[in-house]
Amino acid sequence: MEKHTISVLVENKFGVLARVAGLFSGRGYNIESLSVNVTENPQISRMTIVTTGDENVIEQIDKQVCKLMDVINVTDLTGSHFIERELALIKVKATPKNRSQVVEIAEIFEGKIVSVNKCELGIELSGRAEKIDDFIALLKEFGIIAIARTGRVAMSKNSECSE
CA angle (37, 42, 43) in 5-degree steps: 100
For position 76 contacting a second copy by CB under 8 A, the verdict is: no
Minimal distance, residue 101 CB to a second copy, in Å:
18
Q: Which of residues 2-41 bind a second copy (CB under 8 A)?
A: 7, 14-15, 17-18, 21-22, 24-26, 28, 30-40
Query: 136 CB contacts (<8 Å, ≥6 apart)?
Result: 88, 90, 144, 147
For position 109 contacting a second copy by CB under 8 A, the verdict is: no
Q: Which of 62, 70, 76, 124 binds a second copy (CB under 8 A)?
A: 124
Nearest to 34 by CA among 54, 10, 67: 10
Query: 117 CB contacts (<8 Å, ≥6 apart)?
Result: none
Query: 68 CB contacts (<8 Å, ≥6 apart)?
Result: 16, 19, 20, 23
Q: Compare residues 62 and 124 and give the one whose CB is closer to a second copy.
A: 124
Which stretches of the chain bind a second copy, using CB under 8 A?
7, 14-15, 17-18, 21-22, 24-26, 28, 30-40, 46, 48, 83, 85-89, 91, 114-115, 117-120, 122, 124, 126, 136, 140, 144-155, 157-159, 161-163
